Each structure stands twice: as C-alpha cells, then as structure tokens.
Structure 1
Amino acid sequence: MLSLPPLSLYIHIPWCVEKCPYCDFNSHKLRGEIPEQAYLQALIDDLDNDLVYVQGRPLTSIFIGGGTPSLISAQGINWLLTEVEKKLIFSDNIEITLEANPGTIENQKIADFKTAGINRFSFGVQSFQPQKLEKLGRIHGSEEAKNAARQATAAKVKTFNLDLMHGLPEQTINDALSDLQTAIDLNPTHLSWYQLTIEPNTQYFSHPPTLPDEDLLWEIQEAGLKLLAKNGYQQYEISGYSKTGFECQHNLNYWSFGDYIGIGCGAHGKFTQPLENRIIRTTKIKHPKGYLDPNRPFLDQLNQVAREDLAFEYMMNRLRLFQTIPFTEFESYTGLNINEIKQPIDIALNKKLLTKDAVGWQVTDLGHRYLNELLALFME
C-alpha cells in the first residue's frame, strides 16, 4: 500500500538577463520588462488546479527557482507567498528558498526578500575567478558574489547556499581549490559543489570548451572533499555539503522520493495517490507566452509512473543521498515489496556498491563513485 510522503512546492521563474552557455534549464533571455503581476497571478491560478493533490498535507518547503527568480521584486515575492499561504498550510519550520544571481542582488534587496518571507538563499556563484566567469557567461563578478554572501550574513538570513562548479574550461586543481576555499571563507551554511557537465541543447554542446581530463577531475574531487570535511561541511548528497543541521530540506524531499507541486513554466510535479494506488507526474507549459495564454491550460502533460519503472525512479533519486535507505521507505513510497528488487540488490551487494543491515541499504564509497553503474542495475 502506498503511503503519502511529505509535500513541497517548486515555483519556476523562467527569465534570465543572459542565457549561460552551459545551461539546459528552462530559462529565457529577458527581452523588455517581466510581466510580473500577470505571471504571479498565473502561478496562483496554476496552483489552484493542483490543490486536489495536496490531501491535507502541510508544505515542508518552497523553492523558487529558475531562470533568475531574483529578477522578481521583493514586493512580488511577498504577494506570491501570501497568496500561497492562503491556500496551503505551512509547516512550523518551513524552508523557503530563493535562487539569486549575485548580479541582480543589491544590498537592500536581500533584506527586503527576507522580510517578504525568504529564509534561505541560493546564490549562483559558479566561480570567483573573472576569466572563468566570463567563459561561463555569468553576468556577475567575483566581488558581487562575495558581497551577496556578506549581505546575507549581515541580514541574519537563517541559511544560505553558494552554488559552485568545478571541472571548468582550462581549470587547474589550484583554480578549483581556490574557488572552494574562497566560498568556505564566506562561511555559508550550505555549499553545492558539483562538476560541470556538457548537456544537449546548450551552446557548450554545439561548441565544446576544453575541459580537464578524467584524472584531473578525480584529483579535484578528492582534494575538494578533504577541504570541505576539514572545514565542517558534511556531504549528505552527491553535490550537497552542509554544516550540521543545514541540509537543504527541499532537495532532501526530492531525493527521498517525496511529493512536490510544480507551478510555473515547464515545472514538474510528482504526486502519490494511495486510493488509486498510483504515482503521477505533471509537466506545465514550457514557454512563457504559452503559459500566460488564457486560452491554454497550464498543464502540458500528466503521466502515471509505470509499475515496472517505480524501483528505478525511486533509486534514481534515493541513491544520491548518503543516508541509509530503509526497506520500509522503499515499500511505502513505491508500493513494491523489496523482494521484487532482490536480483539487482544482490548484484550491487556482490560488487560492493551497496551494503545491507537489519533496516536498509547503504551506498558505499565505491557505489557513489560508480553511481551510474549502480543505478543501471534497476533498469534491467
């Protein structure tokens, strides 16, 4: 029998000042003014259609992502969160994150966003080195990134994340560790540190830059992990590192196969329906013009997750985490019996990609290194 997992809300803001050459997210270069109030009202109307899936659950987190959500005014964010709270119960310790580009954040704006209800910021830094920022097409400079972190600290924001990439074009190990040390010195409660990958439908895919080779990438990864651990950042998922108690609750819900409402251009949602014994996924209209067309529905696709895909979908998320995977969670969140995945589990145990105890499975260091190989076992 399926059990209802926790519920989060994702809100997508699709506009950016510039489209970065590595970015494959649903973002659109801003041309003219953002139709702010029209879009915010559309988000609330979109939410109304998804309330049927809430089933009495409070929201544990809200994540406003993009695009560049910090292009929306603090007044607009305040209005949006006020309207959401009229329709949904906020948990007592709800985490409300705003993604922000340091190039769009003025000093007062951080304080204004905090007043509007934001209690967690995620700053898209990527690098602190001017040449690397230029290669990545970022609109901010190193000092703007540092200033954003300092202003978040000065405003006594509950928690903030710095988003940092490694494996950048022509990057050396010293470059990568210098970026990481600079981020650590700004004392964020959370760091997202991950390798740049070249994705289809990006400028980098059409015109690939020169990236570090596999040996150098592994050296960067190993040295970076030691530096993060030395400075009190615990790795709790593949690209997430935090001070104790500051893990991103929104991402934890994603990777634990939780449910989430997705509103806004191209936003994805996932909903468990125990009475119908099914899990569904939703996708909203991708382009702002179509999303804002009053003659079109917000919903673009609604699909049921096939029973034979449930184990893979669960593991695709859950294997990212460094926590034990409880047998009971697998069964209650997928509706499957653990015996149905005995074969891939046994292979993973034999290859030392997983270990097993009385309550669940644990991904090993080897399993995290060869995560794609581990995940592939659940596709067969």
Structure 2
Amino acid sequence: MPLPDGAAGNTLPPLSLYIHVPWCVKKCPYCDFNSHALTGDIPENSYLNAIMDDLAGDLALVQGRPIQTVFIGGGTPSLMSPDFYNTLFERLRAHLLFSDDAEITLEANPGTVEQARFNGFRSAGINRLSIGIQSFNPKRLIALGRIHDDTAAHRAIEAARDAGFDNFNLDLMHGLPGQTPAEAIDDLAAALAWNPPHLSWYQLTLEPNTEFYSRPPKLPDDDHLWEIYRQGADYLHQQGFTDYEVSAWSRPGMASRHNLNYWMFGDYLALGAGAHGKVTFGNGDIRRFWKTRQPEAYLNRIGSRTAGSQLVEPDERPLEFLMNALRLTSGVSENLFTERTGLPLSTVAVKLEELRKENMLEPGRIQTTELGQRYLNSLLERFL
C-alpha cells in the first residue's frame, strides 16, 4: 500500500509501532531496559486504557499511514494475558490502519508461558514470537539470573511451535561468564535443533545502571571473545544462516522486518511506559519522542504521556542514519540516504570516498567491507 507523499515529492518512510510492557518476574542483572519486577498483579485494564489514551495523543502524527510492523517488547510482554492482547489489537485497529501482511512480534520468556497462552496470543493476531532463551546451559542461566532452566526453554519453543508459530526468533547471548567456544557452539546447536527461521546472537556487555555493571562478573578476554564469535559465525554460516545485521541471523527471506525498519532509518510510533518513537513529517522535519518512564507515573498521568520530544537537526541526521544503516551487512543504497534524511548525498560524499580508499566501505553503496564492520565504531567516529 503506498504511503502519503511528503514535502518536495519525497515519500515518507515505512511506519512501525513499538509497544512497551514494563513488568517482569525478576530483573536480570545484565538488563538495562525499562523493566520492573512485579510486586503484585499486573494492572492489565489500567495499562490498556493508558496505552489507548497515549495513542489518542499521537494519532495526528501518523494519520492515514499504515502500520507495517509491530513489536511488543519489555520487560516480559508474555506476562500479559491473551485477553489483554485481543482487546488491545481490537482497539488499535479501530484507530490505526494496519497493512494486510503486518508483522506482529511479541517477546516471550520461558517460565511465563504455557500452551494455552501461546494459542491465545496467536488468536489475538500476533504472528511472530521472539523467545528470550539466552543460553541452554544450566550453569550459565544461573549466572545470568534467568528464572528458567534449559528444560523450560525447550518446552517454551515446543509450545510456540505447537501453537502454529512458524515465524519465531530465539534470543541467545555469547561471551558469558566462564563460557568457552565449545559451549557457545553447543548453545547454537541446541537452538538450531528447533529449526528457527531467525536468531539474535549477541555478546553480553556490561551496561551502566545494571547489577553486572556495579558488580561485574569475570567475562572472557578479547581473544576468547573473538574466538567464540569466529567459531559461532562459521557454524551458523555452515547451517545456512546469514548475518544480515551485526547480531541478527536468519534463514533466507526471514529477516525481522521490524528491525530492518529501524536499521533503514524508518519511522516508528511508540506506546507504553518508557517507549521511544521517531516520526518524519511532510515538511521534512524528523522528531523523536519518549514516553513517561515509570509504570506508576505512566498509568496515573493525566493528559499526554509524552515526556519529551526533540527535533533531529539536519547536522545530526548523517550520523544517526549511518549508525543504523551500517549495522546491515549488505548496507543500503546511496539513494536511501537522501530519502530518509532529506539531505543530499554530497553532505557525506567526501567522507564516504575517504573510507572507500581505506577499504572500509564498498564502492557505490553505503556498506562496510569486512574490515569496516570489524572497526565499525571507529568508522562512525569519522562522522561526528
């Protein structure tokens, strides 16, 4: 379905929707997301009403633009009941236009789901799952503070498959405390035994404002981290997976459309406590929005739940675009730079050519070479 045209005949980017559910059973020691351990029952009805009030304030931003993808993240969104999602999507569809093939993803954690719940999610219109496994190794799961063991992880994947989810992602970490390359390969092999179409395989990092940051565990050194990644990447390539993004792997044609929209500097509406959004306007402005972060404040707020917004100024757009686009191993066309930023390619052309001469970027395309991907952070600093 075509999108409405913006200023000067430019087409506005595809539009996605992100919904944040802030509650979880237990805060993991590595987690820096806006997640809060439950101390009682989830206020589902109140949160549903708050989300719809939130949407009412944002409708004018995106009126008439179809939603191409939805991602429900957290926290642990699978703690919410199927009835919650059934009612939520009924109400969302009354106000928003969804494309016929919209990809709708829900994050789910083992230990918070059973067969009936997965069946209910499917009936509510959710057609993709992202299951937070992190590891199949019992010792590593304990070290990560996960509430599930390896048996619960396998049962969750089986329940998802039995509910008819043939499009699903498994989240795995590598570089865990004490992890060897062989253990990392064992985790990948256990995941691939379920024939997932998509894997998120990313390195554990110590983020500020987490328990691990204040009391850091002993992680593998750089040489071990590189060996874990090298062996794991070789294994996944041998199994027919493509690393289309720094930490995202998929079977052919099964890349996450929602994530691709992020990396290609698309737009996304944001609902829920602490959610962040980005919208491009017909006059060429690009604005970021963020919502009230604390769940109680979000629930009880009167009026707009948008806590703040900020224009992405023209001089900020090149770096923001490249920070996203260069995560894609196949990169993007040069034309997309102008389409998504509203700026001429000449804004960055000199630096792009310098990097091509240094074998950091491929010719004629905004795409890193293998060398450029390895030194991506240093490459991006050139655009500061």
TM-score, shorter chain, exceeding 0.5: yes
- Structure 2 residue 263 is the aligned partner of structure 1 residue 255: yes
> What does residue 94 of structure 1 align with?
102
C-alpha deviation, 1:285, in angstroms:
0.3
1:296, distance to aligned residue in structure 2 (A): 5.3
AA aligned opposite 2:126:
I
Task: Quote the residue 2:363 is aligned against.
Answer: 356
Give the Cα–Cα distance (whole angstroms) in 2 for the partners of residues 232 and 83 of structure 1: 40
Q: Secondary structure at the match of 1:307?
A: coil
Match of 1:18 among 15, 23, 26: 26
Match of 1:286 in 2: 293
What one-letter code is carried by the residue in structure 2 that aligns with 1:340? Answer: T
1:147 corresponds to:
155
Aligned partner of 2:188 in structure 1 is 180
2:314 corresponds in structure 1 to 307
**Structure-2 residue corresponding to 1:227:** 235
Measure, in 1, the Cα distance between the counterparts of 2:220 and 2:84. 42
Say which SS state the counterpart of residue 5 (structure 1) adopts: coil
Q: Which runs of 5+ in 2 are unaligned?
A: 1-7
Alignment partner, residue 56 of structure 1: 64
Counterpart pick for 1:5 among 10, 13, 18? 13
User: After superposition, where does 1:87-166 map in structure 2 within 5 Å?
Assistant: 87-166=95-174
Deviation by residue 1:314-353 (Cα, 9 ceiling, x = unmatched) = 0111111122321211001101111111232123212211
**Amino acid of the structure 1 residue aligned with 2:369:** T
Deviations 1:131-160 (A, max 9, x none): 111111100111111111112222221301
SS at match of 2:366: strand
* Distance across 1 between alignment mates of 2:45 and 2:63: 29
Q: Following TM superposition, by how much is the alpha carbon of 1:195 offset from its aligned partner in structure 2, in angstroms?
A: 0.3
Matched, 1:369 2:374: yes
In structure 2, which of residues 207, 218, 231 is the aligned counterpart of residue 210 of structure 1?
218
Give the C-alpha shift of residue 294 in structure 1. Answer: 3.6
Per the alignment, residue 43 of structure 1 pairs with: 51
Q: Which moved more, 1:150-159 or 1:93-102?
A: 150-159
Q: d(CA) in 1 for partners of 2:335 and 2:11?
A: 10
**Could you tell me how far apart the structure 2 residues matched to 1:122 and 1:240 are?**
12
Equivalent of 1:72 in 80, 88, 95: 80
For 1:297 and 1:188, locate their aligned partners in 2 and report how far apart those are by CA, in whole Å.
Answer: 40
Q: Identify the match of residue 242 of structure 1 among 228, 250, 253.
A: 250
Specify the alignment match of 1:336 in structure 2.
Answer: 343
- 2:200 corresponds in structure 1 to 192
The letter for the 1-side match of 2:383 is F
Alignment of 1:317 onto 2:324: yes
Between stretches 153-162 and 195-204, larger displacement belongs to 153-162
Could you tell me whether the CA contact under 8 Å between 1:5 and 1:258 is conserved in 2?
Answer: yes
Counterpart-to-counterpart distance in 1, 2:354 and 2:325: 18
Counterpart of 1:376, as a letter, is E
Q: SS where residue 111 of structure 2 aligns?
A: helix
Q: Is the 8 A contact 1:40 1:76 kept in 2?
A: yes
Distance 2:366 2:310 in 1: 29
Q: CA deviation at 1:297?
A: 2.8
Instruction: Tell me the secondary structure at the aligned position of residue 382 of structure 2.
Output: helix
Show structure 1 runs of 5+ residues with no match.
none
Distance 2:243 2:161 in 1: 22
Find the aligned partners of 2:52 and 2:143 in 1 and give their Cα distance: 37
Q: How far apart, CA to CA, are the structure 2 residues paired with 1:297 and 1:53?
A: 14
Whether contact under 8 Å (2:68, 2:101) holds in the other structure is yes
Structure 1 position 295, deviation (Å):
2.7
Q: Aligned with 2:329: secondary structure?
A: coil
For residues 190-245 of structure 1, give each alpha carbon's deviation from its aligned partner in whole angstroms, at most 9, with x where no partner exists.
10001000000000000000000111111111111111111111111111111111
Question: Structure 1 residue 253: deviation in Å?
Answer: 0.4
Letter aligned with residue 234 of structure 2: K
Classify the secondary structure of the residue corresponding to 1:368.
helix
State the shift of 1:85 in Å.
0.9
CA-to-aligned-CA distance 1:41-60 (integer Å, 9 cap, x gap): 11111111111121421111
Aligned length: 376
Moved more, 5-14 or 224-233: 224-233
Matches of 1:61 and 1:39, distance apart in 2: 21
How many angstroms does 1:84 deviate by? 0.8
Q: With structure 1 as the length reference, what TM-score do the two structures score?
A: 0.97
Residues in 1 aligned to 2:332 and 2:380: alpha-carbon distance in whole angstroms: 14
Aligned partners of 1:309 and 1:182: how far apart in 2? 43
Q: TM-score, normalised by structure 2?
A: 0.96
Please report the RMSD computed on the Cα atoms of aligned residues, expressed in angstroms: 1.1
How far apart, in 2, do the equivalents of 1:331 and 1:364 lie? 22
The residue type paired with residue 310 of structure 1 is: R
The 2-side partners of 1:122 and 1:342 are apart by: 38
Tell me if the contact between 2:26 and 2:147 (Cα under 8 Å) persists in the aligned partners: yes
